[in-house]
């Protein structure tokens, strides 16, 4: 999956153009230290969501304030947002006890919520500063100019993402931008199957509401070759599908439009 990571350094972004350029995932800088919030956080988040991009957030770890208060800052700025991607702890400076700070940050963050974290770092930095106490967390590795990033002592070559350049060009962004390839390990929910649930279906012929009752022939035409189950309660009728590949669920979601309610797994 093609992704970018962005911050205030990228300025104003046209996410419609970003989406049309083939980008699927966007990591947005949320916080740094104890008090800093990226000035474009809210705007980048809302505009990326409008384009139905998968979004996630990262925190830049520094040594100038306690890791516990940094974790609180990060949590407070992402807790009420949609998190499609694992919240990421960016570890790339080392003028402090990096492992101590990382573990204390993680412990505090995990006490606040149950979102699974990932670690962003570089392979040389990881080998020199980090250890296998971080091995259980997904790793997003930064290694430029190579198709396959080098192995690390902690993660070997098992990476959820590879940032392969800091000088990418994407339509809709006027600056250089970090470019990444991600796999499903970066997703909070990477299940590969699910099923569609519709909203309550409209009454009448082809939904014209002229009588009470659903035109099932019309409705089921949207579910060609998919087994459907009719459900109802006092509020109306809806449909739940058979278990489907997630790609088919996404296809139906787009096709159903306002009839779509949710994908359940």
* CATH number where 33 lies: 3.20.20.80
Task: Assess whether 113 and 200 both reside in one domain.
Answer: no
Task: Assess whether 35 and 74 both reside in one domain.
Answer: yes
Task: Assess whether 115 and 18 both reside in one domain.
Answer: yes
Predicted pLDDT at 188: 87
- Residues annotated as catalytic are 5, 92
* pLDDT tens for each residue of 88-129: 999 999 999 999 999 999 999 999 988 899 999 999 999 999
Residue 143 has pLDDT above 90, yes or no: yes
Task: Assess whether 50 and 179 both reside in one domain.
Answer: yes
Q: Which of 29, 32, 61 is nearest to 48 (CA)?
A: 29
Task: Indicate the pLDDT class of residue 244, thresholds 50, 70 and 90.
Answer: confident
Task: Assess whether 248 and 155 both reside in one domain.
Answer: no
- From 186, 216, 233, give the residue that closes a domain: 186
Asked if 74 and 110 touch (Cβ cutoff 8 Å), the reply is no
Predicted pLDDT at 18: 97
User: Which residues span the domain enclosing 74?
Assistant: 2-186
Task: Assess whether 71 and 147 both reside in one domain.
Answer: yes
Structural domains in the chain (count):
2
Burial of 49 (0-12, 13-18, 19+ CB in 10 A): middle
Task: Assess whether 159 and 202 both reside in one domain.
Answer: no
Task: Assess whether 34 and 54 both reside in one domain.
Answer: yes
pTM score over 0.85: no
- From 153, 186, 219, give the residue that closes a domain: 186
- From 169, 186, 203, give the residue that closes a domain: 186
Task: Assess whether 15 and 112 both reside in one domain.
Answer: yes
Task: Assess whether 55 and 173 both reside in one domain.
Answer: yes
* pLDDT tens for each residue of 188-242: 876 667 899 999 999 888 988 888 888 899 999 999 989 999 999 988 999 999 9
In the chain, DSSP finds a helix count (H) and a strand count (E) of 7, 14
Task: Assess whether 244 and 168 both reside in one domain.
Answer: no
Burial of 1 (0-12, 13-18, 19+ CB in 10 A): middle
């Amino acid at each position: 999956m093609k992704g970018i990571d962005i911050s205030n350094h990228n300025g104003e972004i046209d996410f419609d153009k970003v989406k049309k350029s083939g980008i699927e995932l966007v990591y947005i800088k949320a916080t740094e230290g104890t008090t800093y919030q990226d000035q474009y956080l809210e705007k980048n988040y809302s505009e990326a969501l409008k384009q139905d991009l998968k979004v996630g957030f990262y925190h830049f770890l520094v040594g100038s304030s306690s890791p516990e208060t940094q974790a609180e800052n990060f949590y407070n700025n992402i807790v009420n947002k949609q998190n499609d991607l694992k919240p990421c702890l960016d570890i790339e400076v080392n003028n402090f006890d990096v492992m101590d700070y990382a573990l204390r940050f993680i412990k505090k963050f995990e006490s606040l919520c149950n979102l699974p974290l990932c670690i962003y770092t570089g392979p040389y930095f990881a080998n020199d500063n980090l250890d296998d106490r971080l091995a259980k967390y997904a790793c997003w590795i930064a290694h430029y100019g190579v198709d396959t990033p080098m192995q690390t002592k902690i993660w070997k070559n098992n990476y959820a993402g590879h940032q392969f350049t800091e000088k990418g060009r994407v339509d809709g962004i006027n600056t250089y931008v970090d470019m990444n390839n991600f796999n499903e390990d970066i997703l909070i929910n990477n299940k590969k199957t699910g099923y569609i649930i519709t909203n309550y279906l409209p009454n009448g012929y082809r939904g014209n509401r002229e009588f009470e009752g659903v035109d099932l022939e019309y409705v089921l035409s949207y579910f060609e070759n998919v087994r459907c189950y009719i459900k109802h309660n006092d509020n109306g009728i809806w449909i739940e599908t058979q278990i489907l590949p997630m790609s088919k669920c996404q296809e139906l979601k787009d096709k159903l439009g306002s009839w779509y309610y949710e994908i359940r797994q």
